[in-house]
Amino acid sequence: MADFLRNFGLPTVILVAEILAIIVPLLLAVAYLTFAERKVLAAAQLRKGPNVVGPFGLFQPLADGLKLLMKETVIPTGANRGVFIAAPILTFVLSLIAWAVIPFDDGMVIANINVGILYLFAISSLGVYGIIMAGWSSNSKYAFLGALRAAAQMVSYEVSMGFVMVSVLLCVGSLNLSAIVEAQRTVWFALPLLPMFIVFFISTLAETNRSPFDLVEGESELVAGFFVEYSSMTFALFYLGEYANMILMSAMTTVLFLGGWLAPFGWMPFTGALGHVWSMFWFFAKIAFVLFCFLWVRATMPRFRYDQLMRLGWKVFLPLSLFWLVATAGFLVTFGLLPGQG
Amino acid sequence: MDVGTVIHAICFYAFAGVAVASGVMVIAARNPVHSVLFLILAFFNAAGLFVLLGAEFLAMILVIVYVGAVAVLFLFVVMMLDINFTALRQGALQYLPIGALIGLILLVELVLVFGAWTMAPDFAASAVAPTPPIAQVTNTAALGALLYTRYIYAFQVSGLILLVAMIGAIVLTLRGREGVRRQKISTQVSRARADAVEVVKVRPRQGV
């Protein structure tokens, strides 16, 4: 029995503790991201934003969460019950499980798998299912139209995202996320791959269905899009999933292009435990910066028209990323810089 | 028994069991959308089995390509179809014996193939040369090293076939319709103020 506990129990407890150590701060971050969004939008529009609940309105997310919890879960009569309930759960779960491979610091990662970036890509490409299932099972034309838009939009932008990732891989020679960060010690990939960085950032906006690509919700024509029939916790799960996905995509941008946990110019004044804190501080600071860009774009840009969205994805980003991929490969081979070569 | 083996076995039976069960549900489900969702579940469990085999690259590609792209299109089409599927399902049960027979034939063929499995005489020599030992390189690198050396022609040909299929699909469906008003982004962007607005000084009682 003692043997059993040592072999099974202890690793399980450690794993659960690690998972909780990521998920609890993540959910807190999601809550305060909604608050930050309202504050940033308010600042951009010369308003004050939420400022009533608690000091500076800091308890507003808690009040919002409580309000959502107290509401009634309404399931429409014509809805396909099982799929209707499964859709928000799927969205929420997918936004959490991707965090298993994100490296917060050297060695600080739950699953340091060899194909980390493919795993992230796979998880992000699954995100479309939550939306399609929600749209179809709601048995409402607005929700269904929103879901169809989402499917076309997310599949389109995934293609150019894939090419961007491949061009990063070419420079690194590994699919492991920690190796990708380590490869950026000399220079962050955002500089040599600047066009790819921009394509990736805009694609993440489309992939997370954020403004200016939030046609999936399109409240001006589709009421609220795919989640129009959802209420209470089922709605809250979609909401949490969307914001957790935003943070995830920011973390992905940070790892791929902004040097992950590396401080700028290799600035490393601390060692030991304080060094870890220092690295993680930079990781979170970069994520926060990318998130601010998400909110900034939302405050600045009007929504795209649907045909323009598709044109941008297929006729601009796809050729551009394909060309840049070939150019990167050609450059690396010509100058013998390809990892593993020579 | 070793702990790793036990966990491995439990995972295998869980993945395999769910894969088989969802495979059955694909053909048993009344609603075609449910069928596609079960198909996706089956893909997922197949990916899980790949991970158990240590083929992590194949597992991820299976999820990205089949679940992330192909099944989305399946779902898309099935949701848009306006067919009375209950009527379509009426006589489904009477085809069961034929289906079972085909399945049986496939099973027998598989058994025969695996029973008569022999290595090609030059396999040992050719396999050693291009691939480094599996323990030292990652799955992805080993696969790439083999695919882009020994099987490069097969790889290129399969790519060409896919390209031809894609062009064929476009040619078959693209119709040049008359009178379609298209938006020309370049002309819109290159429009200057001088082309669009003219400021006219209108004098009183004379008009433009």
Dump pLDDT digits (tens) for A30-39.
989 989 998 9
CB contact, 8 Å: A158 with chain B?
A: yes
Does the pLDDT at position A173 exceed 90? no
Q: Classify each residue of A188-222 as buried b or exposed e, where b means 16 or more C-beta atoms within 10 Å of its C-beta.
A: bbbebbeebbebbbbbbbbbbbbbbbbbbbbeeeb
- Determine the pLDDT at residue A342: 44
Between these two residues, B131 and A317, which has the higher pLDDT value? A317
Residue contact B60–A128, C-beta within 8 A: no
Mean of pLDDT over chain A = 85
CB contact under 8 A, B72 and A132: yes
Question: Chain A contacts of B22, Cβ < 8 Å?
Answer: none
Enter the ipTM: 0.81
φ/ψ (deg, to 5) at A151: -60, -50
Q: What residue type is assigned to position A184 of the chain?
A: Q
Question: Which H or E run includes B86?
Answer: helix B85-89
Q: How far is B51 from chain A (nearest CA, A)?
A: 11
Q: What is the pLDDT of residue B168?
A: 94
Q: Which residues of B touch A136 (CB under 8 A)?
A: 33, 79
Q: Which is more confidently placed, A133 or A336?
A: A133
> With 80 as the cut, is the pLDDT of residue A220 above it?
no
Contact at CB, A118 and B37, closer than 8 angstroms: no
Taking the CA atoms of A88, A208, A258 and A268 in sequence, report the sign of the dihedral they define: negative
Is A163 within 8 Å of chain B by CB? Answer: no
Model confidence, pTM:
0.83
The single residue listed with the structure tokens 């004379």 is B206
Residue type at position A265 = F
Task: Count residue pairs from A and B with Cβ separation < 8 A.
Answer: 65
Q: Which of A119-123, A164-168, B82-86, B100-104 has the lowest mean pLDDT?
A: B82-86
Three-state secondary structure string covering chain A: CHHHHHHHHHHHHHHHHHHHHHHHHHHHHHHHHHHHHHHHHHHHCCCCCCCCCCHHHCCHHHHHHHHHHHCCCCCCCCCCHHHHHHHHHHHHHHHHHHHHHCCCECCECCCCCCCHHHHHHHHHHHHHHHHHHHHHHCCCHHHHHHHHHHHHHHHHHHHHHHHHHHHHHHHHCCCCHHHHHHCCCCCCCCCCCHHHHHHHHHHHHHHCCCCCCHHHCCHHHHCCHHHCCCCHHHHHHHHHHHHHHHHHHHHHHHHHHCCCCCCHHHCCCCCHHHHHHHHHHHHHHHHHHHHHHHHHHHHHCCCCCHHHHHHHHHHHHHHHHHHHHHHHHHHHHHCCCCCCCC
pLDDT band at A217 (very low <50, low <70, confident <90, very high): confident
CA distance A37 to chain B (A): 30
**Does A3 contact B at CB distance below 8 Å?**
no
State how far the Cα of B169 lies from the Cα of B172, in Å rounded to an integer.
Answer: 5
Q: Across the interface, do B79 and A132 touch by the CB < 8 Å criterion?
A: yes
Q: How far apart are CA A37 and CA A322, in angstroms?
A: 34
Task: Supply φ then ψ for residue A105, to 5 degrees.
Answer: -160, 175
Contact across the interface for B69 and A175, Cβ inside 8 Å: no
CB interface of A with B, residues 278-307, below 8 Å: 307
* The pLDDT of residue A259: 84
- Express each pLDDT in A237-275 by its tens digit: 888 888 999 999 999 999 999 888 888 877 777 777 888
pLDDT at residue B134, rounded to an integer = 55
Q: What is the mean pLDDT of each run of 10 residues along chain B (208 residues)?
A: 78 91 85 86 91 86 86 82 66 78 92 80 59 66 82 92 94 83 82 86 82
- Closest residue to A122, CB basis, from B31, B64, B79: B64
pLDDT band at A210 (very low <50, low <70, confident <90, very high): confident
Higher pLDDT residue, B30 or A288? A288
Give pLDDT, residue B24.
86
